[in-house]
Amino acid sequence: MQKITLIWFRRNLRLSDNAVLQHALTRGLPLAAAYAWEMPSETANPRRTAFHHQAAAELSAALAAKGIPLFAVQDDIIEALPELAKRLNAQSVLADEAYTPSETKRDNRIWRLLDTLGVSFERFNDRTVFAKADIMSEHGRPYLEFTPYKQAWRHAFQQYFAAQRPSEQTDIPFQTAFSDLPPFPDMPETALMQQGGEQAAWRQWQQFALQLDCYPLLQDFPSKKATSQLGAYLSAGCISPRVLAKEAAARGAYVWLDNLIRRDFYRQWMFHYPEMAQQAREETAINAEFFRRWTQGKTGFPLIDAAMRCLYCSGWLPPVLRQVAAQFWCLTLQQPWQQGARWFAQNQLDDDEAVNIGNWQAVAGLLSLHAPCVRHPTIAAQQLDPDGTFVRRHVPELAHLPKDVIHAPWLVLADVDSHGYPLPMVDI
């Protein structure tokens, strides 16, 4: 039986600018692919699972058109991947590089099982622009703060990437080692605000690129919908962060490029300091009534409630409102960041463990030597949603109120009907 190269697709569900796929092609052997999938009902975040499944289904069709089978594995991947590699007579298994402690632990167990079969297990950076050890301080240690990391990242980018053209879709020769290609499993329909897959990712980028010049001015006004909404595609790997970084730099969009740099920073931080993930799993005591009202969007602060309802209903929230909602939980209500991070992780379509934990620890003041700047919820609302458009969109009880009272309806209770909207849960 002919040897093959087996690609394990994880968070790199695309063909273009796929480092794992490019390395696999250099082996000169027929290709096969594997993808571990779950039913949404079996996961903590059904939306994200369904989104990734859509992306993997599109990838399966694209690979099948080139004669490459994608085997969907639903059993325990630690046991199933080595068994699949043995059945297909794989010479090597290639995958994208992992960063979180749980993934690293799983990879080590898989590596040991593959090694007993004489199959190599190799991983390549496909989730970030720079790999976990590419950007280090002059002392050879990972950066502890974002600003110096960003400066080093930009310097390295100018040296290695800025002059390169974005990679086109890999030219994959037709494979003939497999006469029958396995069907990709169907999944129950799940309502998603975005369609998963590489084609949808490129459409989203092209649409956003038209308004990149306005991003620095409008990014903090959620009603303007001026952010990229590429987070879910980056999380699933439907689009390459390397390509996006090149595209953004070529357009001079350095304010938006900082978002990609921050993704790299959080990932390398989690790899070098795995206690980040351990802290996120710590059980902490919380005020149950605070948690109920915060997650249900019934805090009595209209912008906070609009943000939480938006996230719960759609799985997405503008970054500035994620920060405001997290600050309210951690700093205004004085509740542990871990519970807030877990709730976000269960509801975000674009959930990424390293990025989510990094953002929450930053809000809690754990990733900086300086105390975080906290705005009063009402002042933040007046600054971010001055005409109340975002609040009206997600808090219909207050949609009839004029802009001068919509962010503080408790001040005019005797004069307006708030349709049961609650009073503020705390005095601040």
Residues contributing to the annotated binding site for FAD: 215, 256, 350-352
Amino acid at 183: P
**Using N-to-C axis directions, what is the helix angle for 319-327 and 302-314, rounded to 10°?**
120
- Residue 130 in contact with residue 104, Cβ under 8 Å? no
Sheet holding 70-73, edge to edge: 70-73, 31-36, 4-9, 90-96, 120-124
User: To which H or E segment does residue 203 belong?
Assistant: helix 198-209
Long-range CB pairs of 389-394 (<8 Å, 24+ gap) are 389/223, 390/222, 390/223, 390/303, 390/306, 390/310, 390/321, 391/302, 391/303, 391/306, 393/223, 393/306, 393/310, 394/297, 394/305, 394/306, 394/307, 394/309, 394/310, 394/313
Tokens (6 digits) for 322: 């994620």
CA-based max dimension of the chain: 82
Q: Which residues of 92-101 are buried (b: 16+ CB within 10 A; e: fewer)?
A: bbbbbbbbbb
Q: What spatial distance separates the first Cα and last Cα of the chain, rounded to whole Å?
A: 71
Please give the radius of gyration of the chain, using alpha carbons only, rounded to the nearest integer: 23
| SS3 state of residue 36 | strand
β-bridge mates for residue 120, sequence order: 92
CA angle 78, 83, 88 (to 5 degrees): 135
Nearest to 160 by CA among 198, 130, 122, 132: 130
Distance CA 395, CA 409 (A): 12
User: To which H or E segment does residue 6 belong?
Assistant: strand 4-9
Amino acid at 65: A
Number of H helices, E strands in the chain: 18, 5
Amino acid at 309: R
Residue 83's contacts (CB-CB under 8 Å, 6 or more residues apart) are none
| SS3 state of residue 372 | coil
